[in-house]
Amino acid sequence: MAEIKYDIIRHIGIIGEGNKGWKREINIISWNNRKPKVDIRDWDEKHEKMGKGITLGKEEMKLLKQILNHIEVDDLGVE
């Protein structure tokens, strides 16, 4: 299996933390020397190990932001 290369260009923020100390982060990451994307996933403390996540391009991020701006989080029925 090929090695995955990544470069965390910019740390945006932490949105959660698991009981093992891993943090769910939003970052701008370049995967395998490609164009940077917004990335949401869990990371270990040293950013050496990661969980499954989601990456969003610029247009996807714009649409997500637009959708989130129009919803009331407390009305979603999630905890």
Kindly list the domain boundaries of the chain, sorted by start residue: 6-72
Give the per-residue pLDDT at 78: 86
Query: What is the end-to-end Cα distance of the chain in Å, rounded?
Result: 38
- Mean of pLDDT values over 23-33: 97
pLDDT digits (tens, 9 = 90+) for 63-74: 999 999 999 988
- 79 falls in which pLDDT band (50, 70, 90)? confident
Quick one: tokens of 57?
Answer: 């391009």
3-state class percentages of the chain: helix first, strand second, coil last, to nearest 5: 20, 45, 35
Alpha-carbon distance of 79 to 74, in angstroms, equals 9
**6-72 belongs to which CATH class?**
mainly beta
What's the chain's average pLDDT? 94
Query: Any idea what DSSP says for residue 76?
Result: S
